[in-house]
A and B are shown apart, each in its own frame.
Chain A
Amino acid sequence: MSEPERSDLTKRLLELAEKFGQIELENVQVAVEELILQLQPTMATTTRGVAALQPPTAKAVDRLLEAEFVKPVEVYPGQVIEVQLGATRAEGGTRSVALRIGGSKVPPFYSFEGANPNKPAFAMDVFDMPLTLPKAVRAHYEGVMDDPAAWAKKCVREFNADIVSFNLISTDPGLKNTSVEDAAQTVRDVLKAVDVPVIIGGSGNKQKDPVVLEKAAEATHGERCLLNSVSTDTDYKRVVNAALEHGHLVVAFTPMDINNQKKLNRLLLDAGLPKDRLVIDPTTGALGYGIEYSISLLERMRLAALKGDPELQMPILSAASNAWGAREAWMKTEALGPREYRGPLWETVTGLATLMSGADLFMVSHPATVKVLKGLVDGLLGAGEVDQKIEDWITTIE
């Protein structure tokens, strides 16, 4: 553009800038460079480019400018698969309640985009032998640790667990090496003691677990238990077959790797497991010791599911009780404050982090964790209206 044109434009821009404090330059991209050079002597500061020229002093504005907020809603082509845990008498089991998890259509607690059909559910950990538990946890189970059925009952009746996560750790050859028959009997006892759905876990022994789970599946025919777990390097076919034959579900466990999780899921589906019988556990790292990997893993998986990736559309299981592996949860150190609060809070925050990232089912150890997280879920879903005036928080906090 010619010199007079340019200086004329500059003048008009300066007037505009004074008047409105900002200049729209949508259609004059080419001129921007020159203009800045031209403007610089007068308009000393250019923040965020030319679209944000700041007047040097406060500008009188008479009334609040108009603005409309538009909800930034997205559309999701995919959906998480709905899975039912537990079977009632009518369905061939003996549970008085069956639970549904999954089915999500929008990201976790993005309520402005829609409602997800099922609430996250909470299972409490029960073991088939007394073990070393952190003091803050152990204190709640004194007297029942020798009796898994009583332990399970306590979790349901007193601590309001939705599900019992029963772990047959004594079957480990390095521990008691309990026989699969004896283990199956304890599972029967636990099923009889409670009427909620049950997760049946092994000891972590890769060779023995498939056999233990197979026998337990047989002993609980028709109950729609969740067999926990199979991985790429275990005899997963054996467990899948047992689940098919006796009407159960399977947990697919991978150690923090989205591609391995996809691979394992594919293997299980190829082995004939219906997709509504699969729950995935991509590993929950304790707060302070890897929780961030779990957060990102879960967020990626859930977004992938909603975008339509069929290999990641399974409900997600999160073992928040892994939090107790962190020393901050259990260690007696005065400098860190009382561990009776610190411990359950550590587990709660670990669970909260995966809850917000997409977990559908939780395994926890401390009664307070169940209570607080259930309350938070209700709150996040809008249940329990209470009055809380925050407008005057500056003066009303005591």
Chain B
Amino acid sequence: MTEKATLLTVYKLLPQTNCGECGEVNCMTFASDLLERKKTVKECPPMVKDAKYKAQAVRLTELIAPPVREITLGIGDRAVKIGGKQVMYRHDLTYHNPTAIAIDVSDKLGDAEIIDRVDRAEKFQFMHIGESLRLDAIAVRAASGEAQRFAQAVALVAKTTPLPLILCSLDPAALRLAVEQKGVYERKPLLYAATKDNWKDVGALAKQYSCPIVAFSPGHLSVLKALAKTLREMGNDEIVLDPGFWTRGGLLKSSVENLEMLRRSAIQKEDKDLAYPIMAVPAVAWIGESPDPKAAAFRESCMASLLHTRFADIIIMHSLDVWALLPVVTLRQGVYTDPRRPVAVEAGLKTVGSPNEMSPVLLTSNFALTYYTVANDLEAMGVTCHLLVLNTEGLAVEASVAGGQFNAAGVKELVASSSVETKAKHRKLVIPGMAARLSGEIEELTKWDVMVGPKDSSQIKEYLDKFWNASKTQ
């Protein structure tokens, strides 16, 4: 039935004029970029400008549409795209649209508490390898059971933050009241949720205000599929699937199975009724009477992390503890890094700041993560230096010292082939603490004085302040 997107089928739908307006050499290279999702159809100027290509553009867009629908939550700068998944495994291409992390806010909290919680979620930020890792949305829960209070809380959150909103209530009347608050539906909130009991009203509400909608059917995938199909029939196109997620004991088994089956149905079995982003709520780890907050946060963090390895496109978390959120956002960053990105950076001499001939000379490996971590640390701490990057075949310092790729002969070669001996007047080389065991050998081969630096680049400034300045006066 569906035509497969291949280089040829894609190329056939392009103008095939090789006009080069897109910046590519020819239409074939553009076709290849489309397939790899490096470019979009809109980046072909003739197809946008010329009416005669319009039908082709529509067909092409359809042809290369990812098997899992892409949905945008919210508006403006903090709008977030979810879904749009192309593959089961990231090594098959890359994963698109990092899992959105929403933080829940109960309408039972006082207004001041709500504002505080929302603020903390909005401002959460962790810098890692030069990237700012943040949270993405606020899920307002109708925990009070009072529609009026829920609507007030939603209005307050909408006023407080530009983050996308998820409105959580199974009561259609409460959802409607909340959506109809001033400035709420315009924000394209995600409505949570349509169930087998309330789908008619919630589905109509979502359609009326063009809001994306979650179908929630804990443990019953046939019902979930029926809900999605029905919501679609009602005119809703932006659907998210929540198959239910249990975090305790043996219930975890079916939680994980359901996620696997849903995503495989969408991608491998091309089941159009399930071709939607998946939501999971690790916050359920907090259900129960006064859970131990540390234990619950630990559990929730594990569950949220697990979800990044099992296809979740959006999750709702409860904990705002930094220590519990860190692993989650860090794992997300890793999983959503394009695996086609090279593991290694170019070896050679780099500079940080504007070093002079008396600035320190530091040594590191060419593993991309090591290099960026070190470079970011140095910049953040305002260190000015020459940085020698050794070709360790893309391995981190510790692994490459163990594996032999980080060796004294390599360092000698690097010193000789780079211009470091002209750029620096001194002959003092700071090597990574992890490479301490090579200090003697490096000294022997390079004839430089070797100083063993800290094991972690976060401590370089302290180290240089203490030892570099002292060494200069010797």
Chain A residues proximal to chain B, CB less than 8 Å: 20-22, 26, 29, 32-34, 36-37, 46-49, 52, 54-59, 61, 64-72, 74, 109-112, 174, 204, 206, 231, 233, 255-256, 283, 285, 287-293, 295-296, 299-300, 303, 325, 327-328, 331, 335-339, 341-342, 345-346, 348-349, 352-353, 356-357, 372, 376, 378-386, 388-391, 393-398
Contacts and interface: CB of A to CB of B under 8 A. Distances in A.
Contacts of B373: 289
A381 to B, nearest CB: 6
B227 A64 contact: yes
B432 to A, nearest CB: 12
A388 B91 contact: no
B381 interface: no
A382 B252 CA distance: 7
A382 B249 CA distance: 7
A61 B404 contact: no
A36 B142 contact: no
Given A112-B257, A345-B327, A346-B327, 7 more contacts: A22-B233, A69-B261, A341-B297, A349-B305, A390-B281, A394-B141, A394-B143
B398 interface: yes
B348 interface: no
B252 A390 contact: no
B309 interface: yes
A54 B218 contact: no
17 contacts: A33-B55, A36-B55, A49-B59, A64-B227, A65-B230, A69-B265, A72-B261, A206-B404, A287-B334, A290-B396, A345-B302, A352-B305, A380-B252, A383-B249, A389-B287, A390-B244, A394-B142
B323 A20 contact: no
A382 B253 contact: yes
A81 to B, nearest CB: 22
Contacts of B200: 61
Contact of A289 (B254, B323, B369): B369
A65 B234 CA distance: 11
A397 B321 CA distance: 16
A72 B252 contact: no
Contacts of A64: 196, 199, 223, 226-227, 230
B253 A287 contact: no
Contacts of A47: 237
B59 A109 contact: no
Contact of B145 (A54, A57, A74, A395): A395
Contacts of A233: 403-404
A289 B143 contact: no
Contacts of A26: 1
Contacts of A231: 403
A334 B302 CA distance: 22
Contacts of A349: 301-302, 305, 327-328, 331
Interface stretch (B19-27, B75-83, B182-190, B202-210): B202-210
Contacts of B208: 58
A255 B343 CA distance: 12
Contacts of A21: 232-235
B225 A299 contact: no
Interface in B306-326: 306, 309-310, 318, 321-324, 326
B222 interface: yes
A390 B89 contact: no
Contacts, number: 287
Interface in B274-294: 281, 283-284, 286-291, 294
B30 interface: no
Interface string B225-253: 11111101111010000001111111111
B5 interface: no
A48 to B, nearest CB: 6
A368 B225 CA distance: 39
Which 3 A-B pairs have CB atoms at the shortest separation, nearest pair first?
A: A337-B323, A49-B62, A292-B334
A331 B351 CA distance: 27
B248 A379 contact: yes
Interface residues of B, number: 120
Interface in B324-348: 324, 326-328, 330-331, 333-335, 337, 339, 343
A395 B138 CA distance: 16
B287 A390 contact: yes
B250 A383 contact: yes
A229 to B, nearest CB: 10
A335 B321 CA distance: 10
B284 A388 contact: yes
A380 B253 contact: yes
A289 B457 CA distance: 13
A324 B144 CA distance: 43
B352 interface: no
A204 to B, nearest CB: 5
A215 to B, nearest CB: 21
B396 A289 contact: yes
B181 interface: no
Contact of A341 (B294, B330, B331): B294
B170 interface: yes
Contacts of B339: 292-293, 296
A379 B302 contact: no
A255 B245 contact: no
Given A295-B309, A328-B326, A394-B143, A65 B233 contact: yes
Q: Which residue, of B224, B230, B310, has the highest number of chain A Cβ atoms within 10 A?
A: B230
Contacts of B283: 393, 397
Contacts of A61: 200, 203, 230, 233-234
A49 B456 CA distance: 53
B56 interface: yes
B199 A58 contact: no
A325 B401 CA distance: 14
A287 B335 contact: no
A56 B208 CA distance: 10
B8 interface: no
A381 B234 contact: no
Nearest to A384: B249
Nearest to A330: B456
B136 interface: no
A287 B404 contact: no
Contact of B225 (A68, A293, A341, A393): A68
B268 interface: yes
Contact of A353 (B106, B169, B221, B309): B309
A65 B289 contact: no
